[in-house]
Amino acid sequence: MLVDGVIGYKTHTGSKINQAACDLAKEVADEGGCLIAGGISQTPTYLSGKGKEAVQAEFRKQIQIFVANNVDFLLAEYYEHVEEVEWAIEVLKETGKPVAANMCIGPEGDMHGVSAGECAVRMAKAGADIVGINCHFDPFVCLEGMKKMKAALDKADLHPYLMVQPLAYMTPDAGKQGFIDLPEFPFALEPRVCSRWEIMKFAREAYEIGIRYIGGCCGFEPYHIRAISEELSKERGGFMPEGCQKHDMWGQGLRLHTKPWVRARARREYWENMKPASGRPFCPSCSKPDNWGVTAGDDMLKQKTEATTDEEIKQLAAK
C-alpha cells in the first residue's frame, strides 16, 4: 500500500482475522450444509508461565468474534498440557455453546507427565462434550492414545463423544513431543506422507474404536479427507463425498491401463497390503528425535516480540 509515495502497512488484528475466517467458513458451509466451529489453541501466555487469569483473558478475547457470529460449536485444540485445556474449556463453556477439546499428545500423555487417560477424564469433567487427540503424531499412534483415553473414560463412567485428528505423516520414531522433535520438521516431512490407503485403514479402525469425529491435521490433503469419507460411506448414510466421480475406488480405473502388470493392481487387496518405498537409498527408515524436553515454565519458551538473533540461533544450534 502506497501513501504519499511511502510504503505503509495495514494492521490486521486477531478480531479482523477471525471475522474473515467466519465469513469464509459460512460461505463454504452453506454449500454443503456443514457445521462451523470457532477454534482456540495453546497460548504463549501459558508457556511463559503467566498464570490462569492471564491465559483465560486471552481465550475470552479470542472467542468474542466466534460468539458474535453464532458458530455452531467451539473447539479447544492443540494443547500439550491438560491444565491449559481445562482453562480453555471453562471459558468456552461460559458461552453455552457445545465444546470440543483435544490435545496434541500421544500415548505417553501430556508434557507434565499426566497420562493420556487422565487427560481425557479431566477434559470431560471440565465440561467438554467431545474429547480427543489432534496433531503431533501419525494416525495409528493417535489411535493408541485414543484407546487409552476411552478406557479411562469408561472406567470413570464418563461418556463424551470422541474425536481424532492426526497428522498425515508417519511418526513411529517421534518422541513424547511428537513430530516437532523430528529433524525433518517442518520443511522436509514429505517422505513421511501417508497414502490414501493408510488413511482408509485409520478411518475404519477409528470408527471401530467408537470415534465419531474423524478428521485430519497437518499434512492432510483433500484426497486424504475423501478417503475417510469413502471408507465410511455406508456408516454415513450410503452417500459418497464430493470428488468421488473423478476416480474409481481401490484403483479400479487401472483396468484400462495399457500395461498388464499395472492392470493387475486394480484390486483392493493389492493396495491394502502395499508397503510403499521412499525411493531414497541413503535415507534411514526412521530418524533420531531431538527430545529437548522443554515445556511450559522453561525460560526458553518465554515469548518475545523481536525475532531471534543470529547469536541466539548459534547458541540454540550448539545445544
Taking the C-alpha atoms of residue 70 and residue 125, their distance in angstroms, rounded to an integer, is 25
Identity of the amino acid at 175: G
The answer to whether the annotation marks 217 as part of a ligand binding site is yes
**Cβ contact 100:163 at 8 Å:** yes
Backbone phi, psi, residue 175, to 5°: -85, -160
**Cβ contact 72:35 at 8 Å:** yes
**Cβ contact 203:272 at 8 Å:** no
The answer to whether the annotation marks 283 as part of a ligand binding site is no
**Cβ contact 89:121 at 8 Å:** no
Burial (CB count within 10 angstroms: exposed 0-12, middle 13-18, buried 19+), residue 32: exposed
Beta strand pairing call for 73-79 and 99-103: parallel
Nearest alpha-carbon partner for 170 in 209, 146, 201: 201
Burial (CB count within 10 angstroms: exposed 0-12, middle 13-18, buried 19+), residue 161: middle
Place of cell 485414543: 146
**Cβ contact 127:89 at 8 Å:** yes
Place of cell 460461505: 27
The answer to whether the annotation marks 218 as part of a ligand binding site is yes
Longest CA–CA span in the chain (Å) reads 68
Taking the C-alpha atoms of residue 13 and residue 84, their distance in angstroms, rounded to an integer, is 24
* DSSP 3-state of 23: helix
The set of cell numbers assigned to 247 is 476416480
Which residues are part of a known binding site?
Answer: 135, 217-218
Which residues are part of a known binding site for Zn(2+)?
Answer: 135, 217-218
